Amino acid sequence: MNIKSIIDLKNCPINRPQSVEYLEMVKTVKTGLAEDGCAVLSNFLSNDGLDALVSEAEKKKSQAFYAKSKLCNVYLAQGNAAEDDQHPQNIFLERSNGFITADLLAEGTYAHTLYYWEPLRSFLAACLSKKELHIYADPVSNMIINLCKPGQTFNWHFDTNEFTITFLLNAAESGGHFEYVPSLRAADDECFNEVKKVLNGDRSRVKRLDLNAGDLQFFLGRFSLHQVTPNTGATDRLLLIQSFTEKPGIIGNPQRVKDLYGKVTDAHKDRIDERVRTDSLLD
């Protein structure tokens, strides 16, 4: 199967940037992101492409990494001893999901082919109002599959990256819902009190997104708190996540990569520790 068979190019002609359909998709995504920090293009993957990606993921599930610690805070980091137990940094929630890492989806896989296809990257950049997007140089986490088996969950958290690109490969039969609180923090304000409200059960700002297998989702996860609720069905929830950067050569923080994905490489050891974000928010 070639790349043009993975995406439903008849309904989502991202290889024709001058077409009316292309421009309409870009407009739809930009509007959604501006209003809600989230946008979805339904049935983006073709039926054959979806089947191929699911089959590929199924074969790798046994190699998924699960962190030894099942508890973490919304920053996916250590707590803060200088704050009390009710501070968001010191509220720890269950995270039991696993990750199929990028090194298990090497060249020749459908996931790798999709990630590296330049027309897709150009389309994503247009939707995100970015001049150019680069492949995230992290060899472990640039393209991963989030695996939530029955009974598993992914707690409330913020992302390191400003935005994430995801493809739902398989939905849970029940549960496994994507929930989010748009723009809960700002680039210059952690808004700890608002985060604490959500962690204490306030759902007044919580939104739930109904996703179907094959959907493409854009999400500004650095500023919007989000979670995957417990999978209460009998099937696995599989989500393909692609990460891109605005500068080339960016590699993830070794400690964070080790904690989340269970491994680091020589590339992480040689990483130049420089902050590439414009905000000073917690990770």
- CATH 2.60.120.620, applies to 3-269: yes
161-165 average pLDDT score: 91
Judge whether 50 and 240 are in contact, CB under 8 Å.
Answer: no
Q: Quick: pLDDT tens for 3-24.
A: 889 999 999 999 999 999 999 9
What pLDDT, on the 0 to 100 scale, is given for residue 276? 54
Instruction: Indicate whether 278 pLDDT > 80.
Output: no
Judge whether 277 and 70 are in contact, CB under 8 Å.
Answer: no
Q: Quick: pLDDT tens for 256-275.
A: 888 889 999 988 888 765 54
20-32 average pLDDT score: 98
Q: Quick: pLDDT tens for 122-154.
A: 999 999 999 999 999 999 999 999 999 999 999
What pLDDT, on the 0 to 100 scale, is given for residue 272? 67
Instruction: Indicate whether 254 pLDDT > 90.
Output: no
Buried b (16+ CB within 10 A) or exposed e, 20-30: eebeebbeebb
pLDDT band at 104; cut points 50, 70, 90 = very high
Q: What strand order describes the sheet that includes 207-209?
A: 154-157, 225-228, 178-181, 207-209
167-174 average pLDDT score: 97
Q: Quick: pLDDT tens for 186-244.
A: 999 999 999 999 999 999 999 999 899 999 999 999 999 999 999 999 999 999 999 99
What pLDDT, on the 0 to 100 scale, is given for residue 279? 77
Average pLDDT, the chain: 94
283/162: higher pLDDT: 162
What are residue 63's phi and psi, to 5 degrees?
-100, 5
What pLDDT, on the 0 to 100 scale, is given for residue 269? 83
Separation of alpha carbons 52 and 61, rounded Å: 15
* SS3 at position 268: helix
Residues 180, 186, 191, CA angle at the centre, nearest 5°?
80
pTM: 0.94
What pLDDT, on the 0 to 100 scale, is given for residue 274? 52
Q: Quick: pLDDT tens for 66-94.
A: 987 788 999 988 899 999 999 999 999 99
What pLDDT, on the 0 to 100 scale, is given for residue 1? 74
Q: Which segment of 105-109, 175-179, 192-196, 276-280 scores lowest on mean pLDDT?
A: 276-280
Residue length, the chain?
283
